[in-house]
Amino acid sequence: MAVVIDRQEIDVDISEELEPYIDMFPKAKPRGIKLQSCSPFRDEKTPSFAVNLEDGTWIDSGAYDEDWRKGNFIKLLSFLMGVTYDEAKEYLWQKYRTIYTDMDNWELKVTLAADVGFYRIVSDEELKAVAFRNPYLSNRGIVEKVQRAFKIGYDAKSQSVVFAWHDWKGNVINLKYRSIRDKRFWYLEDGQPIKQHIYGMHFVHKMNLKTVYVVESETDALYLWSHGIPAIALGSASLSKEQEKLILMSPIESLVLAFDNDKAGIRCMEDVKKRLMGKVDLWHMKIPVNCKDVNDIPTDQLIEATGQVERLLPKFL
């Protein structure tokens, strides 16, 4: 099963990479060499999406945006992982690269910080270009005060809410565009890698917060902040090594895990427990069975859930 990465064919286990995110493919069924399902990018009742399990290419025949009608596996994986295209490509490269015996045909891959915009800071002019408001987040329980604090914007051309990602010092290092029509999202092409940062961490440092909730998405974090609960977001259902370091170097002493109520969220919680247990106090907030994530919890149930968090202890205790 070969995926082309920078003009080189890399053997990738497509099925293995899709498995953690299978909940994002409604009505998924294998059909020969393809996995058919409803589109992961939008809501639909009749399956119109298919991904080739041999090379990872996919087609969404019901898409109304030509840029999302078909694509390669890297683009699909970046969506599933919640990261930039370059980060998904680097993930596959690091996991599946092999030692090439034919050195004459091997192309040396060297990624320089300047090439991926490592030091890229989003300018005030760029933020002004999307300094508009759409009721999308307000309708999801995000209050205006929180939206202003986190520099939420709106891009009318692409009909997408814009989330400003900050580094821990408060610099805006990337913009995430989230369509208000469906589930699609994308980042600046030259923005800094998302998994090297944590959404909301700049406020943890600014306010010297000791107890913080950690969630997957920006919307979940903003929803908690709207209820007076400090929160950070990983941007996906995984904790990178860089994000682990950011948590450990922060003022956080108690971390409440509140990941999505699906397979990926459960897997993420177990990984975070394994890596942070004993380094910070870990707690768990159960997502009600009728809800898929924090933002899906009605206010009355959220107050109840946050009041019943359970401390996580090492198994030997």
Summarised one tens digit per residue, pLDDT across range 50-109 is 999 999 999 999 998 999 999 999 999 999 999 999 999 999 988 987 644 344 444 444
- The answer on pLDDT for 181 being more than 70 is yes
Q: How many CB atoms lie within 10 A of CB 289?
A: 6
Is pLDDT of 111 > 60?
no
Residue 32's pLDDT is 93
Better pLDDT: 20 or 148: 148
Give the C-alpha separation, 50 to 58, whole Å: 6
Assess whether pLDDT exceeds 50 at residue 176.
yes
The whole-number pLDDT of residue 116 equals: 41
What is the distance between the alpha carbons of residues 57 and 127, in angstroms, rounded to a whole number? 34
User: Quick one: which of 278, 298, 288, 281 has its CA closest to 258?
Assistant: 288
Instruction: Give the pLDDT score at 115.
Output: 44
Type of residue at 235: G
Q: How confident is the model at residue 1 (pLDDT cuts 50, 70, 90)?
A: low
Average pLDDT of the segment spanning 233-252: 97
Average pLDDT, the chain: 92
Lowest mean pLDDT among 104-108, 139-143, 160-164, 292-296: 104-108
Domains belonging to the chain, first-starting first, are: 2-105 (3.90.580.10), 124-312 (3.40.1360.10)
Question: Which pLDDT value is given to residue 129?
Answer: 97
Predicted local confidence at residue 8, as pLDDT: 84
Cβ contact 204:129 at 8 Å? no
Residue 121, pLDDT > 60, answer yes
Chain centroid, CA 138 distance in Å: 21
